[in-house]
Amino acid sequence: MALLIKSGRIITATDDYTADIYCADHAITRIERHIDPAACGPGVEVVDAAGKYVFPGFIDPHVHVYLPFMGTFAKDTWESASRAALVGGTTTLIEMICPGRGDDPVDAFELWLSKAQGRSACDFSFHMGVTRWDDSMPGKLRSIVERGIRSFKVFLAYKGALGVDDRELYHTLKLAADLGIVVTAHCENETLVDERQRELLAAGKTGPEWHEPSRPPAVEAEGVHHLMTFARLTGTEVYVVHTSCSEAVEEALRGIAAGVRAHVEVVLPHLVLDKSRAEGPGFEGAKFVMSPPLREASQCESLWKSLRSGIISTVATDHAPFDFETQKFLGRDAFTRIPNGIPSVEHRVDLLYTHGVCEGRIDLHTFVAAASTNAAKIFGLRNKGTVAVGSDADLVVFDPSYRGTISARSHHMATDYSAFEGWPVKGRADTVCVRGGVMVRGGTFVGKAGHGRLVPRG
């Protein structure tokens, strides 16, 4: 069905104007000051966007949906996660594939793909996790890249599990440089984390409030420095995920100044939550355990400043959905066993708009660039991230006048709690389209599972 969006204020990373948008055959085919619906032929669906913004579909470049981790599995399926993403205005997700060290990477790719294909309502792609290196890896990883997965993921954390050693890091980066693809990296020093965790537990410091002291900013900054050294020597383009502190950002900047092609990501929780949340009464703080951890409130403002200046390119979520009552409580006697992650894929756009645009921390162009356009450019989503003739008809009609409240009782994620329970939001995605198909109407999901596809990447 053809789609006509009328009279919306179109905002991209660079432009701001009012026009009509006509979509057919999954793409934007016309953008004009006025398009007469009667001249569009029978069956065209008309969306009145007067008084609303029209944004390109938002892209979350860092999520976990299928995730075996710390003795349990993430709660979301692609049906629930994609529905939540779309209600929140996100039309494309890039999931981290996280095979165990003994797993075959091709088998892992097929498993993660099978969880999404035919089930996701939004479009999707993957970062291929590399958790070990042997002589078989180059051929296997090349075969995955040939299928359009043009980015790797490495962990410089989780010693003995997902983490790679320096030899494995070097060879992974070398292969990526040969293939001309990006390596995304979780940057912490795994040995420092491991030793500090042991010391704290031995001292009887077992609660969630000790998670942050076990991996302070210096530990994260050292991990970024380590990555930058290897990236400079191998000539690899890298992307630092979930940067939580100014010390880590500064190390990335030093690498860039030395010639590294590097990008910096922040995730929504690190912009709006601070470490006092993990220090709450009883075991409530477990709801807010993630890695890198939440930091001092002053770090939040520093990250906003780096986002505003363009030092930080993207805002993602690191969505990792675990229940509080049945899963976070696995770490009741030791914070090291609390499944890491804060479910947030549904609320990234609303909270970024509410606390960023409405509070004057960022403008609308930065909002669109950080939540959509930059991710599309970095990860080769060639037909996404902007509003232009020929682009995929991924569009968000956003109502800035909406006022609402976040609650686990009404969210679409599969978790039993919200890290933002009771938080007010200003504005929401009113109508959301994926390749011209209306998936959300009036803030309500109306799409269907299986509409999403694996996105070809350049």
Cα angle 352-267-379, degrees, rounded to a multiple of 5: 100
- The number of distinct structural domains making up the chain is 1
Q: Under a CB-based contact definition with an 8 Å cutoff, are residues 96 and 62 in contact?
A: yes
Q: Under a CB-based contact definition with an 8 Å cutoff, are residues 152 and 181 in contact?
A: yes
Question: Does residue 181 lie in a domain region?
Answer: yes
Question: Does residue 393 lie in a domain region?
Answer: no
- The pair of structure tokens assigned to 208 is 């969630």
pTM, full prediction: 0.98
pLDDT in tens, the chain (458 residues): 799 999 999 999 999 999 999 999 999 999 999 999 988 888 899 999 999 999 999 999 999 999 998 889 999 999 999 999 999 999 999 999 999 998 999 999 999 999 999 999 999 999 999 999 999 999 999 999 999 999 999 999 988 889 999 999 999 999 999 999 999 999 999 999 999 999 999 999 999 999 999 999 999 999 999 999 999 999 999 999 999 999 999 999 999 999 999 999 999 999 999 999 999 899 999 999 999 999 999 999 999 999 999 999 999 999 999 999 999 999 999 999 999 999 999 999 999 999 999 999 999 999 999 999 999 999 999 999 999 999 999 999 999 999 999 999 999 999 999 999 999 999 999 999 999 999 999 999 999 999 999 998 98
Q: What is the pLDDT of residue 287?
A: 98
Question: Does residue 396 lie in a domain region?
Answer: no
Question: Does residue 15 lie in a domain region?
Answer: no
Q: What is the pLDDT of residue 189?
A: 96
Burial (CB count <10 Å: 0-12, 13-18, 19+), residue 302: middle
Question: Does residue 274 lie in a domain region?
Answer: yes
- Tell the residue number behind the tokens 């020929």, with chain if given: 390
Q: What is the pLDDT of residue 42?
A: 87
Q: What is the pLDDT of residue 41?
A: 84
Question: Does residue 420 lie in a domain region?
Answer: no
Nearest to 309 by CA among 382, 227, 246, 220: 246
Query: Sign of torsion, CA 239 245 251 256?
Result: positive
CATH number for the domain harbouring residue 206: 3.20.20.140
Q: What is the pLDDT of residue 359?
A: 98
Question: Does residue 306 lie in a domain region?
Answer: yes
Question: Does residue 6 lie in a domain region?
Answer: no
Identify the domain containing residue 291 by its residue range. Answer: 56-378
Cis peptide bond prior to 424, omega within 30° of 0: no
Q: What is the pLDDT of residue 160?
A: 81
